[in-house]
């Protein structure tokens, strides 16, 4: 069973976050197999940022925020959003889902049963 272990700021150039997954298997040395997936373009806005009053990307009008979210979802509707370990899925459900990062991560874990 796959488990989302953590999402931390990415060290990968140009990426916002890296998600670490426990694949539920062991390698030849008995260590858990992990997969790291970097996602989100650094410097670009996302739904969590446009909802954060302290962010440079904050949009005061809720209808405008929803309009921006719908535009993102329209542009990325053909991304691999049903595969939990794809960058597209992580961006869609973690960065462009709920108004807060914590809320989005909780929803992502529940949707893909990654607890």
DSSP H or E run through 82? none
Q: Is the pLDDT of residue 11 over 80?
A: yes
Q: Is the pLDDT of residue 30 over 90?
A: no
Query: Partners of 18 in the beta sheet?
Result: 8, 38
> Looking at residue 24, what is its pLDDT?
86
- Are residues 35 and 15 in contact, defined by beta-carbon separation less than 8 angstroms? no
90 CB contacts (<8 Å, ≥6 apart)? 17, 19, 37, 39, 40, 84, 108
Closest CA to 50 of 60, 42, 37: 60
> Looking at residue 21, what is its pLDDT?
95
Task: Answer with the residue of higher pLDDT: 115 or 14.
Answer: 14
* pLDDT > 70 fraction of the chain, expressed in percent and rounded: 100
Question: Where does the pLDDT of residue 88 fall: very low under 50, low under 70, confident under 90, or very high at 90 and above?
Answer: very high
> Looking at residue 31, what is its pLDDT?
87
Domain of 78 in residue numbering reads as 3-111
- Are residues 79 and 92 in contact, defined by beta-carbon separation less than 8 angstroms? yes
Report pLDDT digits (tens) over 36-81. Answer: 999 999 999 999 999 999 999 999 999 999 999 999 999 998 888 8
Total domains in the chain come to: 1
């Amino acid at each position: 069973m796959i488990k989302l272990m953590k999402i931390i700021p990415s060290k990968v150039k140009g990426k916002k976050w890296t998600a670490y997954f426990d694949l539920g298997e062991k390698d030849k040395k008995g260590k858990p197999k992990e997969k790291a997936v970097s996602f989100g373009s650094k410097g670009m806005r996302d739904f969590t940022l446009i909802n954060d009053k302290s962010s440079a990307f904050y949009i005061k009008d809720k209808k405008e925020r929803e309009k921006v979210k719908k535009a993102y979802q329209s542009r990325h509707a053909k991304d691999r959003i049903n595969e939990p370990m794809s960058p597209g899925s992580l961006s869609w459900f973690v960065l462009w889902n709920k108004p807060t990062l914590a809320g989005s991560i909780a929803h992502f874990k529940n949707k893909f049963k990654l607890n």
